[in-house]
Amino acid sequence: MRAVVIVEGRLEIEERPDPVPRDGEILIKVKAAGINGADLMQRAGRYPPPPGAPEDIPGLECAGETEDGERVMALLPGGGQAELVAVHHTHVLRVPERVDWPQAGGFVEAYATAHDALFSQAQLRDGERLLVNGAAGGVGTAAVQLGVQSGAHVTGTVRHHRAEVEAFGADTDPSGEYDVILELVGGDNLTENLGRLAKHGRIVVIGTGAGAKAEVDFGLLMRNRGRIHASTLRARSVEEKEDVLRRLEGHALPLLADGRLTVPVEETFPLEHAQAAYERFAAGGKFGKLVIVP
C-alpha cells in the first residue's frame, strides 16, 4: 500500500506492507482521512503514537470500505493516512447513506473528542450556556453543533468565519457567564475563562495550540465552585475508546444521518499532496476539516 510517512519532519509517500489485522481488528480500504492538530504535532516530533500504532504514519480517523464492502468510519491511534488501515472492530461506526466520503473521513476524531468533552466530562445540560473557544476548526464546529442540538445556548469565539459559526445557531459575542467552557486554544484563554465562569461552571481543556501554561486565579475558581477538566483521546485504552464511540453512536449518529449535524470540509487533497495539506492546516484560518482522499 501507499502511505503518508513522516521523514525528518516532512511528509513523503512511501510503499509499505499492507497491514495485517490482529485479533479483534478489521481491515479498511481508506477512502478519506481527516487531518487533525495531533497529526501536525506528530510530524514535529511532539506527539508520539501509543504502543501498537504505526510510528511514522499519521492519521487518527478515516472512512472507507471493509472487505465485505460495508461503508464505515473509524477512530484510530494512527496510520489512517494510507490506502489501508487495520482497526479494532469496536472503534468503527457505519457511514449514513447521505454522508459522502470526505465528510465521513473527518467525522470520528472531531466529534468523538467534542462529544466526550461536552457530555461525559462537563455534563452539559439543556438550557445551559456553552462557550466554545476556537469554534471554526474541526472539533470546534462539532462542539458548536452538538451544543445547539442538545438545547444549550452556544457562543463560539473565532478570528474568522463568524457568519458560518452563527449559521449553526450560535452567537459570536463572548459576553456574560457560562456554565461550560470548552477550551480548544489554550494559553491565556484559561485565565480569561475563570472570569467568565458561572456558579458550578466547568472548563474542559482539550487544546493548547496557543500555549500549555497559564496563570490560574484559584480564588475565582473557588468562589464559583468551578471545575477544570482536561483530557486527550488518543492514548486511552481500547475499552475506553469503545465507550466513547458507543455514546457518540447513540447520540450523534442519528443527527448526522438526518442532516442536523454536518462535517464542514474546506478542502480535500490527494495522498501525494499531504505535505501541502499540512501546510494549509498550519497556516490557520480554515473552517472545519481538511481531508486526504487516497
pLDDT in tens, 42-52: 999 999 999 98
**193: helix, strand or coil:** helix
pLDDT per residue as tens digits for the range 245-283? 999 999 999 999 999 999 999 999 999 999 999 999 999
Domain at 113-230: CATH code: 3.40.50.720
- pLDDT tops 90 at residue 214: no
- Number of Cβ within 10 Å of residue 128's Cβ equals 20
**CA torsion sign, 97 to 99 to 104 to 108?**
negative
Single-letter code of the amino acid located at 251: H
What is the rounded average pLDDT of the residues 64-89? 98
pLDDT value, residue 210: 82
pLDDT in tens, 132-167: 999 999 999 999 999 999 999 999 999 999 999 999
Whether pLDDT at 242 is above 90: yes
What does the pLDDT read at residue 209? 83
Percentage of the chain modeled with pLDDT above 90: 94
Q: What whole-number distance in Å separates Cα of residue 74 and Cα of residue 271?
A: 18
| Residue 4 to residue 13: CA distance in whole angstroms | 5
pLDDT band at residue 1 using 50, 70 and 90 as cut-offs: very high
Mean of pLDDT over the chain: 96
Q: CA-to-CA distance for 6 and 78, rounded, in angstroms? A: 12
- Residue 247's pLDDT is 98
pLDDT at 141: 98
**Direct distance between the N- and C-terminal alpha carbons of the chain, in angstroms, rounded to an integer:** 11
Q: Looking at residues 163-180, what average pLDDT do you find?
A: 96
Has residue 60 got a pLDDT over 90? yes
Cα angle, residue 250 at apex, residues 112 and 93 outer, rounded to 5°: 60
pLDDT at residue 211 above 90?
no
Share of the chain above pLDDT 70, in %: 100
The C-alpha cell that represents 230 in the structure block: 482536561
Contact at 8 Å (CB) between 231 and 117? Answer: yes
Q: How far apart are CA 284 and CA 294, in angstroms?
A: 23
Say yes or no to pLDDT of 212 above 90.
no
Q: Any idea where the domains of the chain sit in the sequence?
A: 2-107+235-292, 113-230
pLDDT of residue 145: 98
What distances in angstroms separate CA 263 from CA 19, 31, 138, 140, 251, one per listed residue? 28, 16, 8, 11, 16
Q: Give me the architecture of the 2-107+235-292 domain, per CATH.
A: Alpha-Beta Complex (3.90)
At 31, give phi and psi (nearest 5°).
Answer: -105, -25
Cell, residue 149: 442540538
CA distances from 266 to 95, 139, 141, 172 (A): 20, 14, 12, 20
pLDDT in tens, 91-109: 999 999 999 999 999 999 9
Nearest to 129 by CA among 167, 171, 192, 191: 171
